[in-house]
């Protein structure tokens, strides 16, 4: 059996997520009703240092991906902070791009509308934490298109690489694959479930090593 060479950036991100308490192991119920042996909660990147480091991972992955974009878009609510932080980090790296985000409810005073920030135009890259069902991406694509922009891709922190659910049943593709197929746009992830498994399998901490078997079993049952 061939062994995939570890991706240094992905391995560093998984390590950072575990140490920050953002990536946890145990038994967690997902939106699809599955019992997952791990849980990734990007909302726990909750201080300046952690958010800055997270933005660095996104920016480095985006630069390496070669995806061409003119601006960033952050879907409410988690995507707002992510898009702002990634825009700051990209500027620090010498790539200054505008960003915008949406409100859940339109304002009828001030600037009005549901979009805030730079005018949405050109190739627009959506920044989010994960893609669970593709709903957030679908809404973002609609907003960007209506504003005159061209959705060109989605950047996420973790690709769970598991079957999406459609009409209450398991689909033969993941939510990320569905987004690629349905919208014809690229999805860039800082790390994947495969990267997480590599991290667990090679970690020297016995407690983390024990987490590898249930995560692998979950992937075999629900993986894409």
- Per-residue confidence (pLDDT) for residue 74, from 0 to 100: 97
Q: What is the pLDDT of residues 163-220, one digit of tens each?
A: 988 767 788 889 999 999 999 999 999 999 999 999 999 999 999 999 999 999 999 9
Residue 117 pLDDT class (50, 70, 90 cuts): very high
8-222 is classed CATH 3.40.50.2020:
yes
- The residue annotated as part of the active site, out of 29, 78, 104, 109, is 109
How many other C-beta atoms are found inside a 10 Å radius of the C-beta of residue 224?
A: 19
Instruction: List C-alpha distances in Å: 46 to 10, 22, 41, 81, 86.
Output: 20, 10, 10, 10, 15
Residue 3 pLDDT class (50, 70, 90 cuts): low
**Token output for 83:** 């898009």
- The residue annotated as part of the active site, out of 29, 50, 78, 107, is 107
Check pLDDT > 70 for residue 21.
yes
- Per-residue confidence (pLDDT) for residue 2, from 0 to 100: 43
Q: Which residue has the tokens 């990536």?
A: 23
Q: What is the pLDDT of residues 37-66, one digit of tens each?
A: 999 999 999 999 999 999 999 999 999 999
* Higher local confidence (pLDDT), 4 or 202: 202
Half-sphere exposure of 177 (CA within 13 A, CB side): 12
Is 182 one of the annotated active-site residues of the chain? no
Domain boundary assignment for the chain? 8-222
């Amino acid at each position: 059996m061939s062994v995939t060479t570890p991706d240094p950036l992905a391995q560093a991100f998984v390590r950072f997520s575990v140490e920050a308490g953002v990536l946890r192991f145990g038994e967690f119920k997902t939106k699809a009703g599955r019992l997952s042996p791990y849980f990734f909660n990007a909302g726990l990147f909750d201080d300046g240092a952690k958010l800055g480091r997270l933005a660095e991972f996104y920016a480095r992955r985006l630069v390496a991906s070669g995806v061409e974009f003119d601006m960033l878009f952050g879907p409410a609510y988690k995507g707002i902070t992510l898009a702002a932080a990634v825009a700051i980090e990209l500027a620090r790296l010498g790539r200054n791009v505008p960003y915008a985000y949406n409100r859940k409810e339109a304002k009828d005073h001030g600037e009005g509308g549901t979009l805030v920030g730079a005018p949405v135009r050109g190739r627009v890259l959506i920044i989010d934490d994960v893609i669970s069902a593709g709903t957030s991406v679908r809404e973002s694509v609609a907003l960007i298109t209506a504003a005159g922009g061209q959705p060109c891709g989605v950047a996420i922190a973790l690709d769970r690489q598991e079957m999406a659910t459609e009409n209450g049943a398991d689909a033969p593709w993941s939510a990320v694959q569905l987004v690629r197929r349905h919208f014809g746009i690229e999805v860039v992830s800082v790390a994947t479930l495969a990267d997480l498994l590599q991290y667990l399998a090679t970690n020297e901490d016995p407690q983390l090593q024990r987490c590898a078997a249930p995560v692998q079993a979950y992937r075999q049952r629900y993986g894409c």
